A and B are shown apart, each in its own frame.
Chain A
């Protein structure tokens, strides 16, 4: 994988010592008008973390309400709004932009050795659109709330009151921010790779980001037109989804899931991206099956477009369609398993160091495996008919979304925190935080698998007394999970109280972002990077061919 190129390195950008992208230039105005991918990534990061906090508090409220049957702390109407907002905020405002727009924006151009993404102004535009969409989503909470669930199923969503129209417009607008990020990443990966970096010298993070970007670009417009049609149905009564007007409510489900199932992969494939970086670095071993992992991301992106019908096994879909969708759903398991086995093979006989990012990566493999395998149960029609709309579904998608996407995001956050802010966090607290999150998560959500198999329906405000012990157990778990996340927030924020102490490459990574300073300078590199080794070349230095040390000015 090693490439030997001997073009002369030369200094391009001069900078004073101590200057980096965080402090040059100074002032809030320079941040709001920046086109620097690193600053946009950081602003996205704080925005999605704020959304995560809000969605997390709502989740804790849901769990407290479900501690006992009937009313615990809120009315049934309030409960409907709280779980809708929890879902909508977590999906549209947190998870979808979290890894691509926050971490990806920061890391991807650095990994490619580029100075910026292909369209920096479009990148800033994406952030502003995200902010506008967020304000509209928050506005819809204040102006009447939404009680449809995050899926906005018709005909309930066309007839219920509240601020559903505003929320659908918000989702429409947020879609553009996602599309712009995707367009930017595809063009960047095609055209801005450092000399010497062919497609198979790309870090696997970039491959997964590419697959994600393709889904973002191809699926999001369909969500856009879907929510626009829903908006029109509410405002003009156009007669497409509402059966009372001659429309077809199942058509809405088809439209919605044509986007929203691929959106599951917009959320989880970036998780694969992060894990594929962390595992080899903390195993000090070349990734096993580079091409298999790279192509499995693309395979998931492609097959992911063809499985939306598995959300509608009990919605009056034809039996033949159900059987085909069920079969295609099983197919997704293959590339997913390819990844898991390759990660495990990478760890096998590696020199594993259990730093916080690696703890999150291992948690990811365990939790994602449970989430993925329970997905196969649900893809089997006969089992799904039994488990449909129970807590089994809730547990399954939380294992994929939180146990997969969010755990990977947290791993990536810890992995790149020193690069982003130039500061190391407390490793011991990191391990404790990860352990609390892992235990709390399993207590909360594994319990819900049991609730589901025993017949507890999802989204219900009230329930039979026999479910109370398991609900209470799940709620206790949510407190452990919350404690772990608050601890993590505390020690990460505490790093800002001490001076910058992170070296260029604290973990011994081999991808290009570790070759510049922590935090990076404004123009990313003080030299023109030329790739001389593969992204996972962990052979001892003396056995590597032609390692240039001269390319730093």
Chain B
């Protein structure tokens, strides 16, 4: 790496003064891309640890109240959960295609794939909205707001505390992802990206895959308890 830095020393200054997308403290696009990728992977690690705390809390609470968790999860709609899983998997696929299109200078394909990804994210939230509405209607709410009548097993509110915290935090990440994809889409429409500079597409893609992956774990954890 050091060697390449020395070799590109001279032309790098040309870039620095001419290319608006290369920040002043980087010598080359490659260096900038590598640095931003390290940053994104570290950020993803923090996300995994953040959700990891919730997963551990869920596992221990489930171990403490196994009956309540099994009983409570029957209130979830497996079909809607499965539908959302498929929707997110599809969006991850189109995101991969978008990154590929950006790396190979196919602007139109990039835009189409980003739009489909964005649409899938929105569809996910719509399905989630209907699920939440149903829970709220039945009083299946977290903590002290739990008001469901006719429970045979106590402590089911703990399951719904975790259900809402985990899917809620995940939902916020979906919204964040939609904002990021929207921003990348706007830049793609403006023609900012080419085969040399498409780091934002790549980084947003990495983030989106993580959001997808977390759902892949959430779905069986919450919907398919036995």
Q: Which residue of B6, B9, B34, B158 is within 8 Å of A240 (Cβ)?
A: B158
Across the interface, which residues of A come within 8 angstroms of B25, CB to CB? 114-118, 120, 192
Whether the Cβ atoms of B46 and A221 lie closer than 8 Å is yes
Whether the Cβ atoms of B155 and A239 lie closer than 8 Å is yes
Interface string of B1-42 (1 = CB under 8 A from A): 110011001000100000000011110000100111011001
Measured CA separation A520–B113 after assembly (Å): 47
Whether the Cβ atoms of B49 and A222 lie closer than 8 Å is yes
Q: Which residue of A179, A191, A192 is within 8 Å of B46 (Cβ)?
A: A179
CB-CB nearest in chain A for B47? A221
Interface string of A1-40 (1 = CB under 8 A from B): 0000101000010000000000000000000000000000
Whether the Cβ atoms of A118 and B61 lie closer than 8 Å is no
- For the complex formed, measure the closest distance between the CB of A257 and the CB atoms of chain B, giving whole angstroms: 13
- For the complex formed, measure the closest distance between the CB of B196 and the CB atoms of chain A, giving whole angstroms: 18
Q: Is B171 an interface residue (CB 8 A)?
A: no
Q: Which residue of B2, B50, B143, B157 is within 8 Å of A232 (Cβ)?
A: B143
Whether the Cβ atoms of B53 and A255 lie closer than 8 Å is yes
Across the interface, which residues of A come within 8 angstroms of B105, CB to CB? none
Across the interface, which residues of A come within 8 angstroms of B176, CB to CB? none
Whether the Cβ atoms of A186 and B50 lie closer than 8 Å is no
Whether the Cβ atoms of A236 and B46 lie closer than 8 Å is no
Measured CA separation A84–B103 after assembly (Å): 53
Whether the Cβ atoms of B57 and A7 lie closer than 8 Å is no
Tally of chain B residues near chain A (CB < 8 A):
43
- For the complex formed, measure the closest distance between the CB of A247 and the CB atoms of chain B, giving whole angstroms: 8
Query: Which of the candidate stretches A223-231, A275-283, A487-495, A510-518 sits at the interface with the other chain?
Result: A223-231
CB-CB nearest in chain A for B61? A240
Q: Is B165 an interface residue (CB 8 A)?
A: yes
- For the complex formed, measure the closest distance between the CB of B161 and the CB atoms of chain A, giving whole angstroms: 3
CB-CB nearest in chain B for A12? B13
Q: Is B43 an interface residue (CB 8 A)?
A: yes
Q: Is B130 an interface residue (CB 8 A)?
A: no
- Which of B1, B39, B157, B162 has the most chain A CB atoms inside 10 A of its CB? B39
Q: Is B144 an interface residue (CB 8 A)?
A: yes
Across the interface, which residues of B come within 8 angstroms of A229, CB to CB? 53-54, 57, 165
Q: Is B52 an interface residue (CB 8 A)?
A: yes
Assess A240 versus B57: contact at CB under 8 Å? Given A183-B42, A195-B2, A218-B49: yes
Whether the Cβ atoms of A186 and B2 lie closer than 8 Å is no
Q: Is B65 an interface residue (CB 8 A)?
A: yes
Across the interface, which residues of B come within 8 angstroms of A444, CB to CB? none
Measured CA separation A365–B48 after assembly (Å): 38
Assess A190 versus B38: contact at CB under 8 Å? Given A236-B144, A240-B158, A240-B161: yes
Measured CA separation A237–B25 after assembly (Å): 49
Measured CA separation A187–B23 after assembly (Å): 15
Across the interface, which residues of B come within 8 angstroms of A225, CB to CB? 49-54
Taking CB atoms and an 8 Å cut-off, the chain A residues in 186-201 that contact chain B are: 186-188, 190-193, 195-198
Whether the Cβ atoms of A197 and B2 lie closer than 8 Å is yes
CB-CB nearest in chain A for B63? A248
Whether the Cβ atoms of B6 and A195 lie closer than 8 Å is yes
Whether the Cβ atoms of A221 and B24 lie closer than 8 Å is no
Q: Is A134 an interface residue (CB 8 A)?
A: no
Across the interface, which residues of A come within 8 angstroms of B24, CB to CB? 115-116
- For the complex formed, measure the closest distance between the CB of B200 and the CB atoms of chain A, giving whole angstroms: 13
Across the interface, which residues of B come within 8 angstroms of A530, CB to CB? 6
Q: Which residue of A7, A120, A237 is within 8 Å of B143 (Cβ)?
A: A237
25 A-B contacts (beta carbon < 8 Å): A5-B6, A12-B13, A116-B24, A118-B35, A119-B39, A187-B35, A196-B2, A218-B49, A221-B52, A224-B53, A226-B53, A229-B53, A232-B161, A236-B143, A237-B143, A238-B142, A238-B158, A239-B143, A239-B158, A239-B161, A240-B61, A245-B143, A246-B158, A248-B60, A528-B9
3 smallest beta-carbon distances between A and B, as pairs: A225-B53, A238-B161, A236-B143
